[in-house]
Amino acid sequence: MIDPIELTQALVRCPSVTPLDAGALDVVDHALHSLGFTVTRLRFFDEESDAVDNLFARLGIEGPHLCFLGHTDVVPVGTEGDWVHPPFAAQIEDGKLYGRGTADMKSGVAAFIAAVSRFVQQNKDFKGSISLLITGDEEGPSVNGTIKVIEWMQRHCQMPDVALVGEPSNPKEMGEVMRIGRRGSWNARLVVDGRQGHSAYPELADNPVPKLIALLHRLLQEKLDDGSEFFPPSHLVISSVDVGNPAPNIIPAHAEALINVRFNDKWTSKTLDAHLRRLLDEVGVVYHLKGWCNAESFIVKDEAWRNLVVEAVQETSGQTPVFNMGGGTSDARYIAPFCPVVEYGGVNETIHHVDEYVKLDDVEELTRTYQVVLRKYFSVQSD
C-alpha cells in the first residue's frame, strides 16, 4: 500500500511553482500505474499563456464512476530565507510536515491515492470506476488546466457520476467544513474620461477624479443582498484606483478603478452586471465599464452525494462538517455543470504562508476519510 506521508514528501520535493511541473506529475503517474490505473498525460497551451501539464487516470471501465480533482502546482515561496524549513525539503518536525504545497494541496492528492491503494487491496473486484484529474494550472490563470481536461473527458466519454475536490476546506481542524458550492467572482474596470489641465486652472480642465469618486461611492452604498441558506452575503471590493499621474499639480485626463464582487446564488454574472450598471447610471456621469466573470456561483443540490461524504467525515473525525461557501473559487466550478461535486480536504490555516505545513495526523485522517468515501460509494463492506 502507498504511504500518504511519503507520497506527500515526494510531491513537495518537486518545486512545481505554477506553471512548472518539476516532476510532480511523474510522481503521481508512477503511483497510479502501480495501482493499475490507465494514465493519460495531457499538455495544453495557447498563444497567450504558458503550456501546462495535466493528468487524467482511470481505474475501471464501468459505472458508477467517482472522480477526484486536485492540483500539484503551488504558489511562489516568496523570500526563501524567511523559511525556517526549506520550502521544498519536505522536513518533518514535531508531527508536522513542512513545505510549499503541503497543505495546498499535495497532501490531499497523496491522501486520495493512498486511500485508493488501501481500498483496492481490500476490494479487488469492486464494481465501478475511480478516476483522478490532476492539473498543474490551478494556482495560475486556470486556462490550460482543469477546464480543458474536462473538455477532453467529454470528447472521450470519461465524465464521472460524482466528483470530489480535495482542496483544504477546514479552517483549524479536520471535520469542520465541507463545501457544496462556491461564490461567483465578477470583475470590472471602471473608467471616467476627463481633460488634462493645470491644477491652478481647474476651470480650463475636466477633472475625472471627483466623478469616479461619486460612482464608487454609489456602489459602496449598495447592500447587494443578505446572503442565502448556505451562502454569505455578496460583497463588492474596490481593489485599485489609479490615474497614472505622479504630479500633484496636474489634473489627469483619465481615472479608473478595478472592482471585484464575490456573489452568491442570488445572482448570475449577467444580473449582477446589469444591476451595477443601473446604480452607476443613477449618478449621471459618463463612464465606461468593462465587466468579466471568472466564475459563476453554484450549489450542489444532490443530497445523496453530499450526505455520503458527510457520513464519511463523521465516521473518521467524529464531527459533522458545516456547509460553507466562503473563500475564493476552485476547480469545482468546472465540473459542477456536469455532475454533483463536493469539496473536502485538509486544514487551510497555513496555505500560501511561509513555513506552510500539514499535520501528519491530519494526512492520515484525510486518507481514512477518502477510504470511507470509496467504501460507501461503491457499496462494499468494511473489514
Catalytic machinery residues? 73, 138
**DSSP H or E run through 219:** helix 208-221
First to last CA, the chain: 16
Residue type, 352: H
Q: Give the E-state strand segments of the chain in sequence order.
A: 38-46, 49-59, 65-71, 92-93, 96-98, 129-135, 162-165, 177-178, 181-182, 184-193, 197-198, 235-242, 250-251, 254-263, 288-295, 298-299, 322-323, 341-343, 357-359
Counted residue by residue, the chain has a size of 383
* Close Cβ partners of 202 (under 8 Å, ≥ 6 residues apart): 251
3 state DSSP class of 106: helix
CB 192 within 8 A of CB 252: no
Contacts of 79 (CB under 8 A, 6+ apart): none
DSSP SS3 for 218: helix
Q: Positive or negative, the Cα torsion across 117, 7, 92, 348?
A: negative
- 134 CB-near residues (< 8 Å, 6+ apart): 25, 28, 54, 55, 56, 57, 69, 70, 71, 72, 109
Pick from 139, 134, 129: which is nearest to 150 by CA? 134
